[in-house]
Amino acid sequence: QKEVEQDPGPLSVPEGAIVSLNCTYSNSAFQYFMWYRQYSRKGPELLMYTYSSGNKEDGRFTAQVDKSSKYISLFIRDSQPSDSATYLCAMSEGSGGSNYKLTFGKGTLLTVNP
Amino acid sequence: GAVVSQHPSRVICKSGTSVKIECRSLDFQATTMFWYRQFPKQSLMLMATSNEGSKATYEQGVEKDKFLINHASLTLSTLTVTSAHPEDSSFYICSASRRGEPQHFGDGTRLSIL
């Protein structure tokens, strides 16, 4: 079993839809959780960063962490064509220094159709 | 804030050439920089972790003599692919972080060895 599982999609939705992206993990030592967005031929861009169970909201994006179930989600409200990208979940055991190695999911390719 | 610049964005060169890629944190001092490799439609694969002023820590299977990493200052790390061959063609991405904060990524370097 891989440490982080993420459905690679592809996921195609109409503009304005609510998008739900998910990752599960097996390592209970993971404490920090991130979502990155990666456009084609670009580096990943940090969207959300959290280290506690519960919800964190930033504009149209909501990150949800459930440490008891080892499950994280990213919700995108009112999705736009510009949200079309690959979304990567990432997690680590600690922050800073060598403890901050990230373990990535495979990424989910999202297309938002106008 | 937290801008990471990577240069060059694209390199095409002949087999046997050595190629240097620079990674700079433009508006913060990075305690740690990371180098990744990404194959098409795959997630990021960590190659090495680099702390300023000390030797890089390479992941298993990554040849340290092939991929030379120098982290001379808190804002600059370089990756040199020595005597590059076609199998080294890939998308190389760096990231930088301060202690306690998430990684921020550069826009990557697409390396093509002919």
Q: What mean pLDDT, rounded, does chain B reach?
A: 93
Q: Are B103 and A36 in contact (CB under 8 A)?
A: no
Across residues A15-32, what is the average pLDDT? 95
Radius of gyration of chain A (CA): 14
**Tens of pLDDT, residues A41-58:** 899 999 999 988 999 999
**Residue A100: pLDDT band with limits 50, 70, 90:** confident
User: How many percent of chain A have pLDDT more than 90?
Assistant: 84
Please tell me the predicted confidence (pLDDT) of residue B53. Answer: 78
The residues of B whose Cβ lies within 8 A of any Cβ of A are 2, 4, 6, 31-32, 34, 42-44, 46, 49, 51, 57, 91, 93, 95, 97-108, 110
**Scanning every residue of chain A, which has its alpha carbon at the shortest distance from the alpha carbon of B37?**
A43
Please tell me the predicted confidence (pLDDT) of residue B55. Answer: 85
Please tell me the predicted confidence (pLDDT) of residue A98. Answer: 56
| Tokens encoding A56 | 């964190």
- Report the distance separating Cα B94 and Cα B5, nearest Å: 9
Cβ-defined contact of B46 to A102 (cutoff 8 Å): yes
Q: What mean pLDDT, rounded, does chain A reach?
A: 92
**Scanning every residue of chain B, which has its alpha carbon at the shortest distance from the alpha carbon of A85?**
B41
Of the listed ranges A21-25, A76-80, B53-57, the least confidently predicted one is B53-57
